[in-house]
Amino acid sequence: FHALAEHFFFTVVDSRTCDRDMLAWQVSEVDALFAVWQSSPFDVDAAKAVFMLKQMECAIVLDGMKGIQTHERYGRLLQGLLDETVGAETLNLEGPPYGGGIKGVLKVLDVYLEKETDKSKSLEAIEWVKERVRPGMMQWDLFGKSYFYWMQFDRVIEKPGSMIAWIAAAY
């Protein structure tokens, strides 16, 4: 049921322009929805995270990266998703529209980078996420089960200088 509610809600949200009234409507509707769902047997925190990610797509455009990082709810959610402490016990975050908690954070940042015209603010957001996300993660899922999981623990850093000689040598 919650997947149907998410789909309906996100369809309405995505069809409207992001402004203060729209964000306030999202917050009030989601609060009312979860007041009804509190007695349900599914992972309410993960379901809340999915709806708050949609709110954050709008909030980051209105308030910027620093605005959501310092926001009481959004800042904690960002860190919880990156640390994988939110929704770790459930598949609620794994399905549409984000495909996972970290992917949800990356989607929020993608929305921000599309709208932000100040390149220094964009670079700040990119540097912030580079410090927190492992660059190499691969998972093989089959029939809803994870059969293979590999993670790159080494930090990948940018190579200084031009890559033209390296690319030309390969061809």
Q: How confident is the model at residue 51 (pLDDT cuts 50, 70, 90)?
A: confident
Q: What is the pLDDT of residue 56?
A: 92
In degrees, to the nearest 5, what angle opens at C-alpha 56 toward C-alphas 118 and 145? 120
Positive or negative, the Cα torsion across 98, 44, 137, 64? Answer: positive
List the beta strands (DSSP E) in 29-114. Answer: none
pLDDT tens column, 105-117: 888 888 898 888 9
* Residue 40 identity: S
Selection from 93-102, 109-118, 130-139 with the highest mean pLDDT: 109-118
Q: In 3-state terms, what secondary structure has residue 73? A: helix
Q: What is the pLDDT of residue 62?
A: 92
Q: What is the pLDDT of residue 144?
A: 57
Percent of the chain topping pLDDT 70: 67
Distance CA 164, CA 147 (A): 38
The structure tokens listed for 68 are 């959501």
Distance CA 85, CA 89 (A): 9
DSSP 159: P
Q: What is the pLDDT of residue 87?
A: 64
The strand pairing partners of 142, in sequence order, are 145
Q: How confident is the model at residue 92 (pLDDT cuts 50, 70, 90)?
A: low
